């Protein structure tokens, strides 16, 4: 059994507090008559029980006349009228200025293993201090964190304020090497991520974010200056796959090229959903694109879908589909392919592409052994790309 340290106990308490706040909200708002779909089916934020006052002006927007503002943070480029919010529910036009509503207001804080992100070539076996907020700029019908991502800050609630400085201090104090922005998309709490990342860089704390990748180029380039590693979800390789998230594939591919050129460590996840993005042809086209545009050494994680949110009618991904995806990716020349959300599968682990030695033995998120020495395979000396120290 896992030992409960004082640090873990603290975060369990925070988690319990967040759960209680959600239960309270559920009782007061949803059980009281509104359906879940009513709360999710909104583009400018659900009707909140009490409006959060905006305090922090947003980055990357411009005035658009008539009191409106145009947000330039993600591919949607929302035109936001006075008093309204953008699609992500987190950016509000107040008095002709755009404000973020979730700055220093995380709704989820936790300590996770870096493998959970997933990151297999970035400080394996270490922990990360993770932050998430309400809101998201995608509407994934399979989202496992929908109770955060498909809600406004008022609906979810947040902890006491945790400023960027306090977030970094917490990581330093607890000796956690990395802060991560995850759970919902960091695009939707960009200013909090950006300010925290700048402080973290000065303090020697690593920065990681997990995103759908639909940034506009300038904000992405700016954030990458203070980032050590990125995990990007590729939702599929067709517009059909992105329709499931009310989004588009092309901005994600543009972002991947930018990250690929930046030198920041990048890993990719593809959640395979039965009937949605699981055709062999689609998987092959995706793998070809990755190899041609990012190179064969980018780790690709095929992840098993389990029913959630609005896709509870679909089955889990068959193991045979995941193994077929692995086979296709290897055939296309990708060198570091793994299978996730399937604890105990042989392909949870990392193997040397040159000699086939098992380099990092993993069971789900747990590293059982790491044989990489000085960034190389101990068997044949092949250089393994990643951030190892």
CA distances from 119 to 111, 343, 361 (A): 15, 16, 14
**Residue placing its CB nearer to ligand SF4 in the complex, 74 or 171:** 74
Strand blocks (E) in the chain: 56-57, 61-65, 68-71, 79-80, 91-94, 97-100, 108-113, 127-132, 178-181, 206-211, 229-233, 265-272, 300-304, 337-340, 350-351, 358-363, 366-370
Pick the stretch among 71-79, 116-124, 199-207, 268-276 that binds ligand SF4 (CB under 6 A).
71-79
**Residue placing its CB nearer to ligand SF4 in the complex, 73 or 230:** 73
**Residue placing its CB nearer to ligand SF4 in the complex, 74 or 205:** 74
d(CA 296, CA 290): 7
Return the residue of 25, 87, 99, 189 that touches ligand SF4, per CB under 6 A: 87
Regarding 59 and contact with ligand SF4 (CB under 6 A), the answer is no
**Residue placing its CB nearer to ligand SF4 in the complex, 73 or 325:** 73
CB of 187 to ligand SF4, least distance (A): 6
Is residue 360 within 8 Å of 350, Cβ to Cβ?
yes
Regarding 181 and contact with ligand SF4 (CB under 6 A), the answer is no
240-299 positions binding ligand SF4, by CB under 6 A: none
CB of 74 to ligand SF4, least distance (A): 3
d(CA 179, CA 164): 11
**Residue placing its CB nearer to ligand SF4 in the complex, 91 or 291:** 91
Any residues with CB less than 8 A from the CB of 98 and at least 6 apart, and which? Answer: 57, 58, 61, 69, 71, 80, 91, 92
CB of 216 to ligand SF4, least distance (A): 8
Regarding 341 and contact with ligand SF4 (CB under 6 A), the answer is no
68-71/61-65 β-pairing:
antiparallel
Return the residue of 187, 205, 276, 290 that touches ligand SF4, per CB under 6 A: 187
229-233/206-211 β-pairing:
parallel
Pick the stretch among 70-78, 106-114, 142-150, 328-336 that binds ligand SF4 (CB under 6 A).
70-78
Pick the stretch among 87-95, 159-167, 264-272, 291-299 that binds ligand SF4 (CB under 6 A).
87-95
Give, in degrees to the nearest 5, the angle at Cα 166 between 165 and 172: 90
Return the residue of 18, 54, 59, 91 that touches ligand SF4, per CB under 6 A: 91
Regarding 99 and contact with ligand SF4 (CB under 6 A), the answer is no
Positive or negative, the CA dihedral 88, 93, 94, 98 is: positive
Regarding 69 and contact with ligand SF4 (CB under 6 A), the answer is no
Regarding 71 and contact with ligand SF4 (CB under 6 A), the answer is yes
Regarding 78 and contact with ligand SF4 (CB under 6 A), the answer is yes
**Residue placing its CB nearer to ligand SF4 in the complex, 88 or 283:** 88
CB of 61 to ligand SF4, least distance (A): 7
**Residue placing its CB nearer to ligand SF4 in the complex, 187 or 269:** 187
Q: Nearest CA to 209 among 227, 221, 225?
A: 227
CB of 19 to ligand SF4, least distance (A): 27
Any residues with CB less than 8 A from the CB of 29 and at least 6 apart, and which? Answer: 39, 49, 155
114-173 positions binding ligand SF4, by CB under 6 A: 137
Burial track 350-382 (b if 16+ CB lie within 10 A, e otherwise): bbbbeeeeebbbbeebebeeeebeeebbeeeeb
Return the residue of 52, 54, 76, 118 that touches ligand SF4, per CB under 6 A: 76
d(CA 245, CA 140): 4
Positive or negative, the CA dihedral 260, 265, 271, 272 is: positive
**Residue placing its CB nearer to ligand SF4 in the complex, 122 or 189:** 189
Size of the site for ligand SF4 (CB under 6 A): 12
d(CA 233, CA 240): 15
CB atoms inside a 10 Å sphere around CB 97: 14
CB of 87 to ligand SF4, least distance (A): 4
Regarding 74 and contact with ligand SF4 (CB under 6 A), the answer is yes
Residues near ligand SF4 (CB under 6 A) are: 71, 73-74, 76-78, 86-88, 91, 137, 187
């Amino acid at each position: 059994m896992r030992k409960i340290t004082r640090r873990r106990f603290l975060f369990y308490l925070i988690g319990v507090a967040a759960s209680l706040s959600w239960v309270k909200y559920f009782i007061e708002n949803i059980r009281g008559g509104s359906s879940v779909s009513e709360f999710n089916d909104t583009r400018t934020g659900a009707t909140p029980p009490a409006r959060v006052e905006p305090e922090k002006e947003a980055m990357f927007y411009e005035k658009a006349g008539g009191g409106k503002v145009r947000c330039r943070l993600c591919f949607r480029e929302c035109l936001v009228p006075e008093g309204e919010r953008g699609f992500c529910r987190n950016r509000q036009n107040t008095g002709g200025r755009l404000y973020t509503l979730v700055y220093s207001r995380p709704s989820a804080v936790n300590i996770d293993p870096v493998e959970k992100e997933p990151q297999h070539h970035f400080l394996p076996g270490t922990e990360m201090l993770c932050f998430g907020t309400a809101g998201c700029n995608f509407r994934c019908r399979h989202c496992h964190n929908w109770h955060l991502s498909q809600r406004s800050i008022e609906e979810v609630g947040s902890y006491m304020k945790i400023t960027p400085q306090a977030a970094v201090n917490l990581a330093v104090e607890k000796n956690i090497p990395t802060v991560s922005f995850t759970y919902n998309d960091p695009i939707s709490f960009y200013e909090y991520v950006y300010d925290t990342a700048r402080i973290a860089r000065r303090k020697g704390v690593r920065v990681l974010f997990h995103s759908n990748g639909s940034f506009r180029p300038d904000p992405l380039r700016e954030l990458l200056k203070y980032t050590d590693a990125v995990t990007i979800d590729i939702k599929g390789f067709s517009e059909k796959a992105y329709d499931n998230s009310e989004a588009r594939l092309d901005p994600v591919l543009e972002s991947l090229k930018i990250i690929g050129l930046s030198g920041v460590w990048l890993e990719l996840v593809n959640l395979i959903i039965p009937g949605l993005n699981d055709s062999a042809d689609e998987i092959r086209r995706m793998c070809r694109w990755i190899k041609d545009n990012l190179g064969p050494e980018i780790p690709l994680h095929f992840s098993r879908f389990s029913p959630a949110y609005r896709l509870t009618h679909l089955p889990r991904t068959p193991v045979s589909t995941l193994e077929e995806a692995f086979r296709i990716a290897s055939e296309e020349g990708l060198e570091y392919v793994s299978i996730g959300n399937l604890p105990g599968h042989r392909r949870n682990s990392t193997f040397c592409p040159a000699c086939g030695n098992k380099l990092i033995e993993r069971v789900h998120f747990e590293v059982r052994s790491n044989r990489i020495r000085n960034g190389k395979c101990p068997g044949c000396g092949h250089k393994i790309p990643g951030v190892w120290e």
